[in-house]
Amino acid sequence: MHPRTDLPAGTLVVGVLGAGQLARMMAEAASALGIQFKVFAQSSSESAALVVADTVVGELTDLAAVLKFAQSVDVITLDHELVPPATLTHLATSGIKVYPTSSAIEFAADKSAMRTKLQQLNAPMPNWITATDFVAASEFADKVGYPLIAKSPRGGYDGRGVWVVNDADELAQLSYPVLLEEKVKFQRELSALVVRSPHNQAVAYPIVETVQQNGICTQVLAPAPDLNDERASQAQQLALLIASELDVIGVLAVELFDTGSGALLVNELAMRPHNSGHWTQDGAVTSQFENHLRAVLDLPLGSPAMTAPKVVMGNILGGEHHDLHRGLLHCLARDPELKVHLYGKAVKPNRKVGHINLVGTDLIDLQHRIAHATDFLAGKIEE
């Protein structure tokens, strides 16, 4: 089936639709496992396209081009949820193995579909409604009170597509249908990351805290500080249940609100390696990228155990300095323990252009050192 005859016998071939940083980091894991890795990119300057030799450039709406690409691999996976549903359906009906499947991915691509499905599973969630018009929205507002959170069901990321609604005037200005949620008074945000294979094998990583600023994750703390074992294990069980009920193959990240008491509430789902799991590259026996590949190929999964007591991941967000490498000289010299992962993306304000991991024993110390490096690279501090 593979047009390439120059690969050693039995070589497994994975193709990814999308060529962002997640595909780029999957490529590192694929290389180590001897997996042939291909990406379908929209442009040759995308993050993964810059490093993956087997790159095809095309449009995800070009069904013939995507099918030709898919016919040259053993399994297709995705690095984002915005692949057009028609493309995924076309692949599935043409007999291509796609993980996660188009029916599972819908629950990550459409927040209203996700809320409806999780309701059936009795998963703890904020009060919510998919309001088709202002009348329905007003009734919901009367019930839960302002402020509300409004979300466009599809297409949002990093806080784009999420708005706070303070009063009826603002509610009237929304475009409908819209997903409305009560504004949860949470103390912090957590993430439960699990990986599941077609054999129904599953592993759960430790629950982490995702520290957010202005809707963007700045740091991830592993394991989540001061989360007792019982709540941590409940969150892992919930994520495993969702993975199994939604038939997710590969990584599933469940973003959670910690209100301090009671259940952890599900915010949203991602079905691909996730920013809250980047710490696993340097702080777990098996990284999320490797386990994602193992899962979609139905290989045995690797241990999710931590290799150090504490791990901190800090996102490098674009700032004023366009030349990251100059800043890196300073950071690398100042702290030789930093593990830097850059995505080869042009710097733009607040764009995630890389991340840094640090492992150790003293959480506060690790957080300070990560904050220093990421602030320096973003040009927020000068030394």
Q: Is 215 in the site for ligand ADP (CB under 6 A)?
A: yes
Q: Is 113 in the site for ligand ADP (CB under 6 A)?
A: no
Pair type for strands 265-270 and 310-317: unpaired
Q: Is 168 in the site for ligand ADP (CB under 6 A)?
A: no
- Residue window 320-349: x/- pattern of binding to ligand ADP, with contact defined by CB under 6 A: ------------------------------
Sheet holding 128-131, edge to edge: 128-131, 178-182, 148-151, 162-165
Segments in the chain forming alpha helices (H): 21-33, 63-70, 85-93, 102-109, 111-120, 134-144, 168-172, 229-245, 280-283, 288-296, 324-334, 363-377
Number of residues that bind ligand ADP (CB under 6 A): 19
Q: Tell me the closest approach of the beta carbon of residue 312 to ligand ADP, in angstroms.
A: 19
Amino acid, res. 190 = L
Largest CA distance in the chain: 66
Q: Cα 234 to the chain's mean position, in Å?
A: 21
Whichever of 180 and 284 has its CB closer to ligand ADP, that residue is: 180
Q: Is 351 in the site for ligand ADP (CB under 6 A)?
A: no
| Among 10-18, 137-145, 181-189, 271-279, the segment contacting ligand ADP (CB under 6 A) | 181-189
Whichever of 215 and 225 has its CB closer to ligand ADP, that residue is: 215
Q: Tell me the closest approach of the beta carbon of residue 215 to ligand ADP, in angstroms.
A: 5
Which residue has tokens 């199994």?
Answer: 244
Q: Is 181 in the site for ligand ADP (CB under 6 A)?
A: yes
| Among 152-160, 233-241, 340-348, 361-369, the segment contacting ligand ADP (CB under 6 A) | 152-160
- Give dist(CA 59, CA 72) in Å, integer: 17
Identify the residue among 54, 158, 247, 298 touching ligand ADP (CB under 6 A).
158
Whichever of 274 and 310 has its CB closer to ligand ADP, that residue is: 274
Identify the residue among 68, 117, 154, 183 touching ligand ADP (CB under 6 A).
183
- SS3 of residue 75 by DSSP: strand
Which residue has tokens 């200005």?
Answer: 173
Q: Is 162 in the site for ligand ADP (CB under 6 A)?
A: yes
Identify the residue among 113, 149, 263, 363 touching ligand ADP (CB under 6 A).
149
Q: Tell me the closest approach of the beta carbon of residue 164 to ligand ADP, in angstroms.
A: 8
Q: Is 309 in the site for ligand ADP (CB under 6 A)?
A: no
| Among 101-109, 158-166, 275-283, 313-321, the segment contacting ligand ADP (CB under 6 A) | 158-166
Start-to-end CA span in the chain (Å): 55
Q: Comparing C-alpha atoms, which of 206, 299, 208, 293 is closest to residue 250? A: 293
Whichever of 306 and 313 has its CB closer to ligand ADP, that residue is: 313
- Give dist(CA 306, CA 231) in Å, integer: 18
Whichever of 134 and 186 has its CB closer to ligand ADP, that residue is: 186
User: What's the burial of 3, exposed, middle or buried (CB within 10 Å: 0-12/13-18/19+)?
Assistant: exposed
Q: Tell me the closest approach of the beta carbon of residue 269 to ligand ADP, in angstroms.
A: 10
Number of neighbours of residue 204 by Cβ within 10 angstroms: 20
Identify the residue among 18, 20, 126, 318 touching ligand ADP (CB under 6 A).
126
| Residues 176, 133 contacting (CB under 8 angstroms) | yes
Q: Is 161 in the site for ligand ADP (CB under 6 A)?
A: yes
- At residue 87, what are phi and psi to the nearest 5 degrees? -65, -45
Point out which residues bind ligand ADP (CB under 6 A): 126, 149, 151, 156-162, 181, 183-184, 189, 212, 215, 255, 267-268
